[in-house]
Structure 1
């Protein structure tokens, strides 16, 4: 269970997508309350029932709109898909439900249907959670499995085609920011580079041994120095030598590259996926 919660989960920000989700949720809440009349709404009827149901639907939609179109853009690093997991997504949805419960409590107070108190908030939270948690768990699980299966299927196609040949005579030269440290490698020796705070960690084969070396600098600077086909950025934090790929696996966010001699897979983020696939397929 813990392993599943820590699995990568797709988080693609789309204004169009979240606009439709917000509108759809507003309509769903409105008509659910109107037709099923839970939480004591059966005391109302006709137009009054519809208006009250609509007000709760709009309150829910307003909370979602603020969350999607204000909170997410304000904290892009936190909502970065490359670090997004199942547990983060569940916590994010739970926070949405808590805020919706608070908004419902305030609305009930404004409509003179209740008072503002911790007890009122907890009751409202229980009502929202009763409806939201089950739906959220089902949607998150099904969405995760759908993305996972799609990417696994595509990864199998990629794995079947690679015809990767590197020019082993070429040399890659990497320098630290102050040029005091240097590292010269044959193309076939390089596995990948990854960012490590103010350093770049270079992972390569030295004989039969996997070796790491830290060079002060940025991944951006290293990328500019490397100008060889098949050695490309595959993730915000990784540059990979695609000539070293022995297999491709899929996960809910995209793909993972298995490199020769390494147990640790290298992630491929959505923004770099096309370039990686194009090279691996030889197109």
Structure 2
């Protein structure tokens, strides 16, 4: 169960993410008249449906914006999972329940004591929402992952399988400005951040992969190297574009597999478009 909740999931927050819950709420209340609305005139029901639809859309927008402001690490789109998506939806539902409860309690629209009213709003909101939400989440993940795989396959087909060679030599310097390595462009494979250090993977003797731990920030290394060859694809990774062997995708982002490396390297969602542009430009 925990492995399922940790599965990558797309973080999609756009106008549709805000409007769809409101539209769904309006249709649901108008057609099925839950929460005791079956005893009210149609005009009242439609008015309540519209108001609650606006509340649902507002709560989605407000919840995401608030969490991004106060918990940016938790809301990191590149680390988004199915479990986080479910928790976000449940949080929004609870806020909607509390809002509806307060509104009903203040206008005394239904003849219930507060405890019974809250129980009714909570149970009926969850019962009417959980199944369509589950379908929407699963469909969202399936559809997004299918599109990701399609684009990844197209990019993989465009990647040149023959390694490019360049005689450009780069001096790799440490944090103190002292050079620690002198490497050709085609010898550098990838680098990844390791706290105050970076791990640099490169070719030695043409085919043997070697790793050096260098005291420097990854961003400083990126600034040293030409961006037409090296790509800062993720906050923790830089890759040599000439060594891309395959592009693959999951429900969250792209990953690249390099020659001489069997570990998929993530591409941040914010860098996906740039990756496509760089690959298309190199063809």
Bin of the TM-score, shorter chain as denominator length? 0.7 to 0.9
After superposing the two structures, state which structure 1 stretch, 79-88 or 107-116, moved more: 107-116
SS in 2 for 1:257: strand
Cα gap change, 1:126 to 1:262, in 2 (>3 Å): farther
Distance 1:237 1:40 in 2: 53
Aligned twin of 2:8: 8
**Superposed displacement of residue 222, structure 1:** 1.2
Aligned twin of 2:127: 130
Cα gap change, 1:189 to 1:126, in 2 (>3 Å): farther
**Superposed displacement of residue 6, structure 1:** 2.6
**Superposed displacement of residue 193, structure 1:** 1.3
RMSD value over aligned CA atoms? 2.7
1:60 has 2:59 as partner: no
Aligned twin of 1:234: 233
Q: Deviations over 1:80-116 (max 9, x none)?
A: 2211122211211111112111212222211223454
**Structure 1 segments of 4 or more deviating over 6 A?**
none
SS in 2 for 1:141: helix
Q: 1:170 is matched with which residue: 151, 168, 180?
A: 168
Cα gap change, 1:206 to 1:76, in 2 (>3 Å): same
Any conservation in 1 of the 2:35–2:120 contact (CA below 8 Å)?
no
Aligned twin of 2:188: 190
Q: 2:145 is matched with which residue: 140, 148, 153?
A: 148
SS in 2 for 1:160: helix
Aligned twin of 2:158: 161
Aligned twin of 2:222: 223
Q: 1:205 is matched with which residue: 199, 203, 206?
A: 203
Aligned twin of 2:260: 261
1:40 has 2:36 as partner: yes
Any conservation in 1 of the 2:201–2:211 contact (CA below 8 Å)?
yes
Any conservation in 2 of the 1:60–1:103 contact (CA below 8 Å)?
no
Distance 2:20 2:13 in 1: 17
**Superposed displacement of residue 240, structure 1:** 0.5
Q: Deviations over 1:189-219 (max 9, x none)?
A: 3221122222222223345554333323322
After superposing the two structures, state which structure 1 stretch, 153-162 or 42-51, moved more: 42-51
Distance 2:143 2:150 in 1: 11
1:71-90 correspondence to structure 2 within 5 Å: 71-90=67-86
The runs of 5 or more residues in structure 1 that have no matched partner are none
Q: 2:136 is matched with which residue: 136, 139, 163?
A: 139
Cα gap change, 1:53 to 1:143, in 2 (>3 Å): closer
1:104 has 2:100 as partner: yes
